[in-house]
Amino acid sequence: MNAFAAQPLPNPPTQNSKLLPALFQPFDVGQAVTVFHVGSALPETVDFFSSYRCKLHFVDVFSALPIVNDEEQPPSLLQQFQQLLHFPEHTRFDICLFWDLFNFLDSEAIRAFLAVLRPHLKRTSLAHAFSVHNSRIPQKNHYYYGVQQADTLSVRHRRATPPGYAPHSQRELMELLDCFRVDRSVLLPDSRLELLLLRS
């Protein structure tokens, strides 16, 4: 059993989002959409995307944390992500739901992650992520996210906190995410930032 999986709650708590509607706005119900979701296939997320002609790719990167680069012990960071992000060659994502993944990857791991993901992005790809307003703030987020509605996230407690928490400031993160740019950001009450990202 994955220690970082979500607690199995029948009706998980929810959190409103000001940015999710903008993420889904370009896509009509019934339209073909290809989605990359970091995490397990939660039932509410699967149900939400059933309204679209959707290809959903769930990859629980958290189950592989910490992603580390040990030069004396293969595989390398790049090889680890190639094994995790094993998509069909023709796959091109319209939407990427990263959630808080980048708070648990160091700079080199983020670069390796993007090196593998980049060939599967479209010029019009959109993405969602959480960052922090101040990287010195201790971790308060122990959640696992899903999509309940177009403006609502499901929020489930993780069974355990993933290792390697080392958040980047928004400026640092955007320098690392060189294939995206911030379209909008919202400061949340717990000093996290919710980000809507556009392909750059």
In a domain, 5, yes or no: no
Identify the three-state secondary structure at position 64: helix
Half-sphere exposure for 2 (CA within 13 Å, toward CB): 17
In a domain, 1, yes or no: no
Q: For residue 81, what pLDDT is reported?
A: 94
In a domain, 144, yes or no: yes
In a domain, 139, yes or no: yes
**Domains identified in the chain, total number:** 1
Rounded distance, CA 107 to CA 77, Å?
A: 11
Q: For residue 169, what pLDDT is reported?
A: 87
What angle, rounded to 10 degrees, do the helices at 77-84 and 107-117 form?
A: 50
Rounded to 5°, the CA angle 138-105-15 comes to 60
- Run means of pLDDT, 10 residues per run, the chain, 200 residues: 53 91 90 94 93 93 83 78 94 97 94 96 97 78 87 89 86 93 92 93
Q: For residue 66, what pLDDT is reported?
A: 84
Q: For residue 1, what pLDDT is reported?
A: 41
**Shortest CA distance to 84 belongs to which of 107, 108, 63?**
63
In a domain, 27, yes or no: yes
Q: For residue 145, what pLDDT is reported?
A: 94
Residue 171: give the domain boundaries.
Answer: 14-199
In a domain, 23, yes or no: yes
Residue 54: CATH number of its domain: 3.40.50.150
Q: For residue 70, what pLDDT is reported?
A: 66
Q: List phi, psi (to 5°) of 24.
A: -95, -15
In a domain, 6, yes or no: no
- The amino acid occupying position 35 is V
In a domain, 186, yes or no: yes
